[in-house]
């Protein structure tokens, strides 16, 4: 697992801190990928920092488990790094990475559901955290957790990560009609769950 330690910016003079910040902002993603492929740990760390928040958030909203989301996002990043030499650098890295995250998160959620069915894991899901990641209320996060992994994934990809239905179909290797059907059912279930929560 990658555990990226923040650089000790306190030890740098203020002028060096600001110069370093400007250089990091100017670096294009292509340049960082080229550096990472050449073995630059700094460029690999910069890519990780740039993409970690959305990768983790996507994983969490699908699996509804902080520890699992961290593991999934890190494993997805490591998988992306291992295959970086095959990545088409004309594309953005983020959507490709989040596709890996979504697929791993769906697999993890399915495996957990299967363990519950066989009785090897308790049926009670963990309580939602007080401060869910991102801008989603606890009610929305809880309602998302009640969806099946398949419905949760398409809803998160569409409305959190802003993929188009066509992009979701390609990412999850599904017919577009299946994506649209899962989106409709997922949104209907989400709406019903939120309405029920309001009545309590």
**Structural domains of the chain, with CATH:** 27-199 (1.20.140.160)
Lowest mean pLDDT among 10-19, 51-60, 166-175, 190-199: 10-19
The CA distance from 55 to 98, in Å, is: 6
Q: For 89-175, where are the alpha helices, taking DSSP H only? A: 93-117, 138-145, 149-155, 165-172
Mean pLDDT throughout 20-30?
64
Residue 148 pLDDT: 87
Position 131 pLDDT exceeds 80: no
Mean pLDDT throughout 78-87?
90
pTM: 0.68
Task: Categorise residue 173: left if φ over 0, alpha if ψ from -120 to 50, beta otherwise.
Answer: left
């Amino acid at each position: 697992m990658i555990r990226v330690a923040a650089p000790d910016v306190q030890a740098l003079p203020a002028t060096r801190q600001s110069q370093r910040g400007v250089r990091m902002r100017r670096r294009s993603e292509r340049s960082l990928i080229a550096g990472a492929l050449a073995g630059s740990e700094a460029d690999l760390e910069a890519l990780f920092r740039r993409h970690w928040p959305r990768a983790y958030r996507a994983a969490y909203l699908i699996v509804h488990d902080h520890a699992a989301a961290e593991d999934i996002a890190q494993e997805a990043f490591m998988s992306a790094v291992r295959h970086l030499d095959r990545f088409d650098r004309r594309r953005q890295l983020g959507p490709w990475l989040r596709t890996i995250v979504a697929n791993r998160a769906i697999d993890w959620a399915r495996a957990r559901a299967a363990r519950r069915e066989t009785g090897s894991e308790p049926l009670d899901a963990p309580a939602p955290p007080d401060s869910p990641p991102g801008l989603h209320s606890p009610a929305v996060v809880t309602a998302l957790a009640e969806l099946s992994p398949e419905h949760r994934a398409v809803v998160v990809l569409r409305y959190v990560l802003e993929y188009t239905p066509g992009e979701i179909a390609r990412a999850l290797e599904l017919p577009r009609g299946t994506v649209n059907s899962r989106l409709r059912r997922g949104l209907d279930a989400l709406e019903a769950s939120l309405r029920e929560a309001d009545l309590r």
